[in-house]
Structure 1
Amino acid sequence: MSFAFPLAFIGLLAAPALTAIYWLRSRSRKRTVSSLMLWMDQRQLKEGGLLIDRLQTPLLLLLELLSILLLVLAAAGPMVRAGTAAAPLVVVLDDSFSMLAGGKSSPRHRGEESVRSEIRAGGYSAIRLVLAGTAPQILGEAAEGGSRMNALFDHWKCYSPSANLEEAITFAFALGGDRCRVLVVTDHAPAAEQIDERLEWRAFGRRDDNVGFVTATRTDRDGQDRCLLEIANLSDRQSQTDLVVEAANTGGFREIKRSRLNLSPNGTERIVLTLAHGAGEIRARLGDDALKIDNEVMLAPEREQGVRVELAMNNEALRDLVQKAFEAIPSAEMVSSAPDLVVTDEAASDVRPGSWILRFITDQPAESFIGPFVIDRNNQIAEGLSLDGVIWGAGKSPESTGALLIMAGNIPLLTATDRADGAREIRFSFRPEMSTLQRTPAWPVLMWNILNWRASEMPGVSPCNLKLGSDAKIKLAFGTTAVSVREPSGSSRELISADRIITFNADEPGVYEVTAGTARYSFAANAVRKEESDLRQTTSGNWGSLFALNGLEQEQRSITWIFILLLLIVLACHLALVSRDLSAGRSAALT
């Protein structure tokens, strides 16, 4: 046993003082009287005095001395060894993709063997595994050997674009409690402030040169499908590698480009490819090296979302203004049936379910407004829109329905209402003969934003090409609530959404296939992160120890509560004896 506050033993000096109080007693002179009948208390006083007498009431004295002893022991903070056999273990596993460097001798494989050996050694009350990716994730509780531990390690895939070890270690200590031990398995050395007395850091990295993709994007704009590939030489010497670009066709891929790249030390090379119209998935590959995951990227078609627009307008002047504005937008397709957006100036019109309506209000008493204009900047319809110096002719009624997007004072100019079929109706109060809006840059900006708003709400996946670990947003058609996502590994996930939007985290590199009712979509995720592809900072070594603790409070457990409990029992006995003596004194006085 040890004590956290040994200076508390100074309190034992109270014991001799208490003994002296019981030793020194008052002695009365002897007097002879004729009778004792007038005396209130005939007993000898025992409250103390200046003369030495034999000890009286020894049981009370012993109880009070024992109370002092227990109080001092409790104040000293008694500690006993907790015993390492009962400590829980939390293993933090680096889940970044640099852990895959080296193939079968990668830090991931060697780290797994090290953790298995630690678990087989035993001596822990519980063992938990935590993945350190962009955010910590609990894998579960491991057991020595068996299928359960194998299943947990199967989830350690090392596909994360980064490893937030500091957050994962903090999470591990909170998960394990005050006496837990934390074992970190990674491929790089720790920062000095990350070494804790209860933490052991094991690194299994190996410094190496690497060439890999650090950027891979694909765009489809103005009718041209382009790919941008950026390859980095993450070494201090000249490197060469082969680049092969392939396009998907029936039954596989066909080669469309092959080149030999000569990369300067720490240099990069950018390659832009213009693809044929309607090209499918693109695969680009580099030669093998230490890290394979960044040697291949897949790019799904990034189609520009077109919007089918139908004009159903009676006002010829207004129709001409709207038609010219939409025809100048490449993503707008003017149609006469099955539109995505119907533009009308009629008070009521029948449209197919799911079609948006842009309704111009021109039949109300109107006046010209020069501002101030109030614009809802949280809505994408206001992006890049300025109404300074604009004269807007519109109805002067303050009544409105739906969300207010643009107002002139308290007069609604542009509002939006959600319909029961999941579509929207945009009400545009506008009188062109009383306005200059159509002759300012604000007019095409407004039409462009309305069209883009409609395009952003159309079913599909965005973005179609993203970095590993990022989220893809799947927008469902009205009436569709469930989707099936087939991952690159071949497994499938069934997802359900009530608001027609599903956010899916792409935690595995490759192409994902989405089935939403009768619709089919695809998107791709790639391991492109320069910091993870750079293997020059990786290293091997051990820092800290699971059992080499310096802090006393970390190694021992407080038993102060035991002494406090005993003290309360002793004080209760003391109180019982004192109460008994007082009762006996009162009885004697009455008799």
Structure 2
Amino acid sequence: MGWATPWAFAFLILVPLVLLLHSLRLRRREVRISTLYLWEDLLQERRSTLGMSKLLRSLLLLLQILGIAALTLGLADPFASIPSTKEGDIVLVLDASASMGTRTQGADRFALARSRAIDLVERLHPKSQMAIIAAGSRPILKLPFTSDRLLLKQTLEELAATDEPGDLTRAVQFARSLLGGERRGEVLLLSDGADARLAEVLSQTDQVRLSHVSGGERNVGITKFEVRPRLMRQGEYEILVNVANFSPQLESFELALSMNWKTVRRTRYTLEAGERQNLILPYTGPASGVAEVVLDVNDDFTADNRAATVLSDRLPMWILLVSRGNYFLENLLAGHANASVNVVNSLSPSSFEQQVRGNHVIILDGVEPPPLHFGNFLLINTMAPNLPIAIKGTTEAPPVVDWDITDPLLRSVQLRDLQVRQAQMVEIGEGVKPLMYANGSPILSRLDTGRLRLVHLGFDLLDSDLPLRVAFPVLMANILEWLAPQQGTFVSHQVQAGEPYAIELEALPAEVSVRKPSGEWLKIQASENPLAFRDTSQVGVYTVRVGKKTQRFAVNLASAAESDIAAKITERPSDVSQAAGLSTHETVRRPLWPYFVVLAFGLTLAEWYFWCRTGS
């Protein structure tokens, strides 16, 4: 407490003056009378009230002194220094994405952010409330609004970083939605700023304050891992590994490839700062079990130093080819690994539905089909009458000018300078996705209605040079993989961290046990098939046990954006200490003089009341 006008204490000089006035005695006049008989009753009554009169006079003196003191204190303008606080509640968003696991000196980024969050809880104003959101691949409300500091601290201490790619945009939107209606406050975001979209999010509102956590900058990571069979080569595979150096310096490392935890290849690589390489590692042998690549490098971020997939045999793919003769197509399908191809030159309408049910893929090469309602089809230079793809005519020697290289059907397919003698002019309807254009008309498109999957190729293969290109077997392999993803040479069981994995069950209900890479076992009562297992926040190999059967699947980070652990925020982070609901180190003056004035007035009223009681 302080005093704005301390000179007002000079009024305390009135206290001795009051004491002096009370010390003065009243001088009585002496009068002679003839008898005391008439005064005895009065004197007796006065003696009985003498003690109370002295007490009241002492109380009056005390009240007068206290009144002078209270009035003096009020005139001195006292004030209390209290921590400055802006009213409002807080939504605390803690970035729990994989990059927050980057190691710093003595800890990781998430540990630093959590410690900072606990400090913010300590400074939470008693009248404010706080909610906690963990921001991984999706935002999760860990604790609704509460002012219980102990519960807030306990919740923060139980949080840990995940291996999931982050989505801070959704997390901030969710946090702001909690402050809607009559609730007012701010969003405090504790993050390393590695999300490239964060700068745009912060620029759109002043309701979000960023507390930036830094530390660690070296990282070499695996951003993609796939295993593919080599076309026309039984038992031979290509293992694709994308590796990038996100460090600001040159990095050397060893890459080890293992099958079922047995190392089959180890190679040393050196990457310049910012360099990326797409590695293709040949492998010959059984494609069954756990395939894993590991980077032997001492960097600051370990979640992307390994990637794995679990390979298992697939059922044979049954293909029905309806064609009047196509050497290139028949020869390509005959060499497809684990495919059983049946070739006919015509269709029987009476048995068509049975043929559709008995084959995984039906390829119609220039043969018009009946109406299609379900199944997987590749239509080459033909079309069914009931589909939203209408043939409007033909065009001669159309130039191929555009194709969608991001679509899975055109992955690794190079169609530059493709020569086509004649192509169909088609008009597509709702649900059809065009993939390749020639002369303004889509000559490659696909349709997926759920029950019906279809790919349309709008020209005769023999009227083009496509069968003579390297792209032809790659395109066909992509089309077959898209049409019937569960059939072929093998299945690769892997998902990105944070994404659900579908566990196929034989019957319901079933008890499913899942062992996470940390060794923790989870028991789930399955009521749906397939069972969507969503707790995939850790990278590594998971074990699934249903009854006596065991299967595995792998979870990988596989995100170049998350592996780039450098901060993308160029603006200066906000000062979270000034956020609503927090007690700051700064103080404000709260005036106290009204309380002392009221006290002085009350004491004066009390003194007047007791003075009236004395009768003087």
- Counterpart code for 2:98: F
Alignment of 1:524-563 (within 5 A): 524-537=554-567, 542-545=573-576, 547=578
Counterpart for residue 514 of structure 1: 544
Q: Helix, strand or coil for the counterpart of 1:202?
A: strand
Q: Secondary structure at the match of 2:376?
A: helix
Are positions 1:263 and 2:292 aligned together?
A: no
Q: Deviations over 1:401-456 (max 9, x none)?
A: xx999999xxxxxxxxxxxxxxx99xxxxxxxxxxx9x999xxx9x9999979954
The equivalent residue for 2:108 is 106
Separation in structure 2 between the aligned mates of residue 455 and residue 370 of structure 1, nearest angstrom: 21
Are positions 1:330 and 2:361 aligned together?
no
- Residue-by-residue CA offset, 1:345-402 (whole Å, 9 max, x unaligned): 9999xx9xxx9579x9xxxxxxxx986x6765x96623454416xxx9xxxxx9xxxx
TM-score for the superposition, normalised by structure 1: 0.54
Determine the C-alpha separation between the residues in 1 that align with 2:491 and 2:523: 18
Counterpart selection for 2:300 from 290, 293, 300: 290
- Counterpart position of 2:142: 139
Tell me by how many angstroms 1:525 deviates: 1.6
The equivalent residue for 2:256 is 244
Conservation of the 8 A alpha-carbon contact between 2:224 and 2:241 = yes
Q: Deviations over 1:80-121 (max 9, x none)?
A: xxx958632211111221111115422211100011111122
> Given the alignment of the two structures, is residue 179 of structure 1 paired with residue 184 of structure 2, yes or no?
yes
Provide closer, same or farther for how the CA distance between residues 212 and 143 of structure 1 changes in structure 2, counting only shifts above 3 A: farther
SS for the counterpart of 2:111 is helix
Letter of the aligned partner of 1:466 in structure 2? V
**1:281 aligned onto 2:311:** no
Matched, 1:306 2:313: no
Q: Which runs of 5+ in 1 are unaligned?
A: 1-82, 311-316, 318-322, 336-343, 361-368, 393-397, 409-423, 426-436, 550-591
Q: Return the alpha-carbon distance in structure 1 between the equivalents of residues 499 and 521 of structure 2.
A: 19
How do 1:419-438 and structure 2 match up within 5 A? none
- In structure 2, the CA distance between the partners of 1:548 and 1:517, relative to structure 1 (3 Å rule), is closer
- Deviation for aligned residue 1:205: 1.5
Deviation at 1:529, TM superposition (A): 1.9
- Counterpart amino acid of 1:130? I
What is the alpha-carbon distance in structure 2 between the residues aligned to residue 505 and residue 221 of structure 1?
34
Alignment match, 2:243: 231
Question: C-alpha separation between the residues in 1 aligned to 2:525 and 2:389?
Answer: 37
Counterpart in the other structure of 1:387: 382
Paired residues, what number?
405
Root-mean-square deviation (CA), in Å?
5.6
Tell me whether 1:488 sits opposite 2:529 in the alignment.
no
Work out which of the residue numbers 111, 120, 142 in structure 2 matches 1:118. Answer: 120
Note if contact 1:89-1:127 (Cα within 8 Å) is conserved in structure 2: yes
What's the secondary structure of 2:574's corresponding residue? strand
CA deviation digits over 1:516-569, x for unaligned, max 9?
5565432212122222222333679741446467xxxxxxxxxxxxxxxxxxxx
**Which 5+ residue runs of structure 2 have no aligned equivalent?**
1-83, 325-329, 392-450, 453-459, 465-472, 581-616
Match of 2:77 in 1: none
Q: Which moved more, 1:175-184 or 1:114-123?
A: 175-184
Distance 1:131 1:324, change over 3 A: same
Instruction: Look up the equivalent residue of 1:247 and give its one-letter code.
Output: M
Equivalent runs, 1:12-31 vs 2, <5 Å = none
Q: Aligned partners of 1:504, 1:461: CA distance in 2, in Å? A: 24
Is contact 2:541–2:553 with CA below 8 Å preserved after alignment? yes
SS of the equivalent of 1:525 reads strand
What does 1:313-324 correspond to in 2, within 5 Å?
none
AA in 1 matched with 2:193: H
Amino acid at match of 1:387: T
Any idea what SS the aligned residue of 1:158 has? coil
**8 Å CA contact 1:226, 1:275 repeated in 2:** yes
AA at the equivalent of 1:382? F
1:157 is aligned with what amino acid? A
Q: Partner of 1:507: helix, strand, or coil?
A: coil
- Partners of 2:296 and 2:86 lie apart in 1 by 50
Please list, as runs of the form range in 1=range in 2, the aligned pairs for 1:5-154 lying within 5 A after superposition: 84=85, 87-102=88-103, 104-123=106-125, 125-141=128-144, 149-151=153-155, 153-154=157-158
* Greater RCO, 1 or 2 (C-alpha within 8 Å, sep 6+): 2
From the superposition, tell whether residues 302 and 288 of structure 1 become closer, same or farther in structure 2 (CA, over 3 Å).
Answer: farther
- In 2, Cα distance between the equivalents of 1:304 and 1:257? 26
Say if 1:198 and 1:545, in contact at 8 Å, map to a contact too: no
Give secondary structure in 2 for the equivalent of 1:523: strand
CA deviation string 1:312-351 (max 9, x = no partner): xxxxx9xxxxx9998565333599xxxxxxxx99999xx9
Structure 1: distance between partners of 2:313 and 2:563: 29
**2:162 aligned with 1:158, yes or no?**
yes
Aligned residue identity for 2:103? G
CA contact 2:239–2:280 (8 Å) conserved in 1: yes
Aligned partners of 1:460 and 1:476 also within 8 Å: no
Q: Which whole-Å CA distance do the structure 2 matches of 1:459 and 1:330 have between them?
A: 7
Q: Taking structure 1 as reference, are residues 136 and 375 closer, same or farther at Cα in structure 2, changes over 3 Å only?
A: farther
Partner SS state of residue 167, structure 2: coil
